Amino acid sequence: MQIINVMASSLDGRIGLHDREGDAERQSVGLSGNADQKHLRAQIEAADAIIVGATSIRANGECLDHPGHLGQPPAWYIFARHPLPLDIGFWQQTHIPRFLISPTALPLVPGSGVQNLIYGAADPAVFLHQHLSAQKYGQCLLFGGGIINNWFYHQNLVDELRLTLAPIFIGQSAAPFLVAPELPHRVNFSLLASHSEESFVFLRYKVTSS
């Protein structure tokens, strides 16, 4: 199983203007565009599972509905500490396998098909990695935020970084980082491939050591 961190970042290493930024707002400020969206969907089409934070679901209201490996919807694993709003479309996406990953039990909408995996006192990244490995998944995409990315890099669980560089400086100290400070060690990468389109640069790196 591979954990592939798929992220888009500004040239100054920020992944949004603020923590609760949705896809539409990211496109409006230039952090995403047609080329980036095409690239994102191509990554999903090879994926068995997607890992995100609850802020992404709150901002967008639902999981991105796009086919994954073998044409089946990838399973979505959402890290959450607090209940998700009951009036968002996420709860109606019954054709997509969805899991809330939380330290304690969270309320679920009856009939939604959403499951709750509780990690308790365990390390959240290690807990989910063990679960994903048991499912015998091939590719799992880690969509971050900075805090969740930190968890996985901290535990040396990321195999690749697929980074889109957007042609923009955010230039704001409060804007979220690609990886939230601080990591306890350096992470080194080896470039596997690169190309550009519409002023976006698409980089593929292998994690080599930490």
Q: What is the tens place of the pLDDT at every residue in 171-188?
A: 988 889 999 988 999 999
Residue 33 lies in a domain: yes
Q: What is the tens place of the pLDDT at every residue in 90-140?
A: 999 999 999 999 999 999 999 999 999 999 999 999 999 999 999 999 999
Amino acid sitting at position 33? G
Residue 139, domain extent = 14-209
DSSP string, 59-96: HHSS------GGGSPPEEEEE-SSPPPTTSGGGG-TTS
| CATH number for 118 | 3.40.430.10
Residue 8 lies in a domain: no
pLDDT at 21: 62
d(CA 146, CA 15): 8
Residue 83 lies in a domain: yes
Question: What value does the mean pLDDT take over residues 76-102?
Answer: 97
Residue 70 lies in a domain: yes
Evaluate if residue 76 carries a pLDDT over 70.
yes
In terms of DSSP bridges, do strands 188-197 and 160-165 run parallel, antiparallel, or are they unpaired?
Answer: unpaired
Residue 9 lies in a domain: no
120 contacts: CB under 8 Å, gap ≥ 6: 103, 104
Residue 4 lies in a domain: no
Q: What is the tens place of the pLDDT at every residue in 142-181?
A: 998 999 999 999 999 999 999 999 999 999 888 899 999 8
d(CA 87, CA 147): 26
Residue with the larger pLDDT of the pair 67 and 21:
67
Residue 152 lies in a domain: yes
Structurally, the chain folds into a number of domains equal to: 1
- SS3 at position 43: helix
Q: What is the tens place of the pLDDT at every residue in 1-23?
A: 999 999 999 999 998 876 666 66
Record the pTM: 0.94
Question: What value does the mean pLDDT take over residues 24-51?
Answer: 87
Residue 3 lies in a domain: no
Contact by Cβ (8 Å): 64, 84:
no
